[in-house]
Structure 1
Amino acid sequence: MKSLSRWAKRLTSFTAVLLLATAAQTNFASFDAPARAYLGEKPGRARNGTPEQMIVAAIDDIRAGKMGDARATVDALLDKQPNYRLAHLLSADLYAMRAVPLDKIGGAASAPADRLEDLRREALVRSKREAAPPPLDQLPAPLLVMSPKQKNVILVDAGASRIYIYANNNGVPRYVTDFYATIGKLGMGKQVEGDQRTPLGVYFVTSHMPRAQMDKTMGAQAALYGVGAWPMSYPNEWDKRLGRTGHGIWLHGVPYDTYSRAPWASNGCVALTNPEMLAVADYLQIGTTPVVIVPKIEWLNQDAWRARNQEAQQTLDGWRSAWENRDTRNYLAEYSRAFVSEDGQSFDKWAVQKASVNAGKLWAKVKLGDISIFATGGDKPMWVTTFEQDYSSNNLNNRMRKRLYWQRDDAQWKIVWEGAAGAG
């Protein structure tokens, strides 16, 4: 009776917690066959590990018919994380299975369908990560060149609701860890204010808003961000060039009354559990750390990654060399016909002006330092190159932090935007 009372208490607790869950996109996680538990089963053995490893282990045990182990793991997980909604759902399922078999997660729960689908989607996303972890013998294609000042890069796979941390190992990205993450309610590809989508592109962490500060400035609304927030530089230069609107895209935690949110549940930010957000924060350098958000990570073997790394660096140096040598024809060939200058000039007008300027130079020197190059992926991939530019000539000396956006034009990468780097 004591055991049944415990399960009934967990079921009631689950129902209350589930009703607080935010809506996301529909998906499901089913058991391989209808699963059923039995009252006479012996106590199982709890799995150890992170909360994610434990929740996936419990799901795997249910599918394998190891109900005692699943119950023991869920109990241990709820002792560790009492506000974990997905764990409450599995607890309720295991209790219900004593009466009827279930063919999917949440099959016996009497709760709004969208709340159940949120939790099923979380189960699916977390299970996929455990089934197919990041290939440690390969490198992520978006991280082409890391500046010596960038100790780490945050890489977000929006399609997989996953955030990766890579360290800068003498210019080569080295895997550190990865976490489950929440993105916008309506997915990725932010375009306008309020569209509840997470932007895709290269951004930088611009500041830190501790929870105590947020309590003072935001009042009760601060509770949405848990341990605090780390704002990012959306909209970046390319977003503005395309007329994208919106603001307040942050890395942040979740309310203290829940362990994690659904995979698609934010208003466009990237949200993590509070413990994991604090773990990520240890790798953030304000004003320096890039956050590269892509729809899906392309993984490359070592040789393929080095080839792309060299291609990107050589392409950038070809632009620098043509400019330094006052080779106007080849210099202008580095730019797309779709290029628009920082002050809004079309390519044709800007090209006439640049040719006139170059004709008035007797000599020029162009040095680039602190270079980073990241790729955005997707249907129209871009390179985002950022560097310290030291330009000198017979009649001008100039230093600036500069950024170039490149897109493929047939077989060549061409510059589509050029100007001062707004962040990073």
Structure 2
Amino acid sequence: MPWRRTKSPMERVRPMHIRALAALLACLLPAVTGAAPADRETPIYLLEMGYDGGDYALLVDKQEQLLYLYRGTGDGPRLYKQFRCTTGRNNKGAKLREGDLKTPNGVYFFRGILEDEQLPEKYGVRAFTMDYPNDFDRLRNKTGGGIWLHAVNESDRVEKSYDTEGCVVVTNSDIMELSGYIALWHTPIIVDDSLVTVGSETYQRERTKVLDFIGEWEHSWENKRIDRYMACYDERFSGYGRTKARHRAHKQRLNEVYKEIKVDLTDINVFAFHNYLVVSFRQEYRSDRYHSVGRKKLYLTRDGDSYRILSERISRM
């Protein structure tokens, strides 16, 4: 499904200023909105979303058996609607292996749509396939697949808690409504045993820290500071078929070949799940000999206040 959005205030400035702007927004937002942020609870999973109301995220609370639809706004993510759902029959913790009847916990993206003759009748009118196992899951040797958000023809089945083989299931009417808010490979579905919310101060602090990290990564890349750039990567890094050592050698060669490098990051989204985060953005890369535009995802691990990139991937635009 096509999607389009305007640039946020953050996106209209150079990415190297992300740190300063994030801190400024944290200070000014209460005065601008007239809100009392200390009293407002926000899901910790949605650290950065779209500003124009065009970006959405789905949150699934397995304990409550509810699916929440959130919309990105200039004042942070806002609950837009909620839906009844049912999840895996084995409700004890996250999915670990194929056939354990658990719904996986984490940040996932929708890969495709199945309907009509592609979809067996028991899955209702439509299904969205999910990218389980993701890079974090593979690192932890999790197995299995075929995890979907799908419907069911028997609407009363959704009222039965924990009644699937691992998928997230809603009614036919609800999946059709949700379809209007899902963009493949862009809209996340984040699943947890019980959703965690935090106050405005904690939310802004966590948001600023990760944007600070992304700003440092981008600034080091542009300025060919290879040691600081590679310090942003985990020792277990894997991306583009390269280990961390091979990635360093590749970037060092490019630093020597190109006279200058410019990197612009826009349309930034940050989705967190405990000690893992997924950061996605539109990336425009320019040098004196090469130009590319693509959508990049960084998979980060967090240890206290430190972040490291476990993997990254880009799809050309």
Please indicate, yes or no, whether the TM-score normalized by the shorter chain is above 0.5. yes
Report the secondary structure of 2:237's partner residue.
coil
Match in the other structure for 2:179: 281
Q: What is residue 105 of structure 2 aligned with on the other side? A: 200
In structure 1, the residue matched to 2:253 is 356
Partner of 1:68: none
After superposition, the C-alpha distances for 1:220-248 in whole angstroms (9 at most, x for unaligned) are x41x2234322223333444555544333
Which of the two has greater strand per residue?
2
Q: Aligned equivalents of 2:217 and 2:167: distance in 1? A: 35
2:80 aligns with 176
Aligned residues: 278
Instruction: Structure 1: give runs of 5+ residues left out of the alignment.
Output: 1-135
Instruction: Pick the aligned partner of 1:417 from 290, 311, 316.
Output: 311
The whole-number CA distance in structure 2 between the counterparts of 1:354 and 1:283 is 38
Which residue of 1 is the match for residue 287 of structure 2?
393
CA contact (8 A) 2:51 2:73 kept: no
- Where has structure 1 moved over 6 Å in runs of 4 or more? none
d(CA) in 2 for partners of 1:386, 1:285: 14
| Contact map agreement 1:145 1:171 (CA 8 A) in 2 | no
Query: Mean alpha-carbon deviation: is it higher for 141-150 or for 321-330?
Result: 141-150
CA distance in 1, matches of 2:222, 2:248: 16
Pick closer, same or farther for the CA change 1:178–1:412 going to 2, 3 Å.
same
Amino acid at match of 1:229: A
Aligned to 1:162: 66
Q: Return the letter of the residue paired with 1:302.
A: S
Corresponding letter in the other structure for 1:350: H
CA distance in 2, matches of 1:257, 1:387: 37
239, 247, 260: which one aligns with 2:158: 260
In structure 1, what is the Cα distance between the partners aligned to 2:289 and 2:196? 45
Which residue number in structure 1 is paired with residue 21 of structure 2? none
| 1:186 and 2:186 aligned | no
Whole-angstrom distance in 1 between the partners of 2:137 and 2:145: 11
- How far 1:170 sits from its partner (Å)? 2.4
TM-score (norm 1): 0.59
Report if aligned partners of 2:123, 2:150 keep a CA contact under 8 Å in 1. Answer: yes
* Structure 1: distance between partners of 2:76 and 2:196: 16
Give, in whole Å, the separation in 1 of the partners of 2:304 and 2:77: 29
Give, in angstroms, the shift of residue 408 of structure 1.
1.7
Decide which moves more: 397-406 or 228-237. 228-237
Instruction: Specify the code of the residue in structure 2 equivalent to 1:270.
Output: V
Structure 2 runs not aligned, ≥5 long: 1-38
Distance 1:259 1:339 in 2: 42
275 and 395 in structure 1: CA distance in 2 versus 1, 3 angstrom threshold: closer
Query: Once the 2 structures are TM-superposed, how far is the Cα of residue 167 of structure 1 from its aligned partner?
Result: 1.2
Query: What secondary structure does 1:172 align onto?
Result: coil
Aligned runs of 1:95-244 on 2, under 5 Å?
A: 137-147=40-50, 150-170=54-74, 172-187=76-91, 188-210=93-115, 213=116, 216-218=117-119, 221-222=120-121, 224-240=122-138, 242-244=140-142
**Aligned twin of 2:12:** none
CA contact (8 A) 2:276 2:302 kept: yes
CA distance in 2, matches of 1:156, 1:397: 39
| In structure 2, distance between residues paired with 1:199 and 1:413 | 23
CA distance in 2, matches of 1:408, 1:238: 12
Given residue 416 of structure 1, which amino acid in structure 2 is its aligned partner? L
| Deviation, structure 1 residue 410 | 5.0
Separation in 1 of the partners of 2:173 and 2:202?
A: 35
Helix, strand or coil: the match of 1:185? coil
Identity within the alignment, % = 29
Q: Distance in 2 between matches of 1:325 and 1:231?
A: 40
The residue that corresponds to 1:295 in the other structure is: 193
Helix, strand or coil: the match of 1:337?
strand
Q: Which residue of 2 aligns with 1:406?
A: 300
1:96 paired residue number: none
Cα pair distance change 1:409/1:361, threshold 3 Å: farther
TM superposition shift of 1:364: 0.8
Q: Is the 8 A contact 2:152 2:169 kept in 1?
A: yes
Corresponding residue number in structure 1 for 2:168: 270
Give the match's secondary structure for 2:104: coil
User: Do the aligned partners of 2:71 and 2:77 also contact (CA within 8 Å) in 1?
Assistant: yes
Asked whether the equivalents of residues 402 and 419 of structure 1 are also in contact (C-alpha less than 8 Å), the reply is yes
Query: Whose radius of gyration is greater, 1 or 2?
Result: 1
Name the CA shift for 1:419/1:288 in 2 (closer, same or farther; >3 Å): closer
The 2-side partners of 1:331 and 1:199 are apart by 33
SS at match of 2:267: strand
Counterpart code for 2:49: M
Contact 1:227 1:254 in 2 (8 A): yes
Match of 2:262 in 1: 365
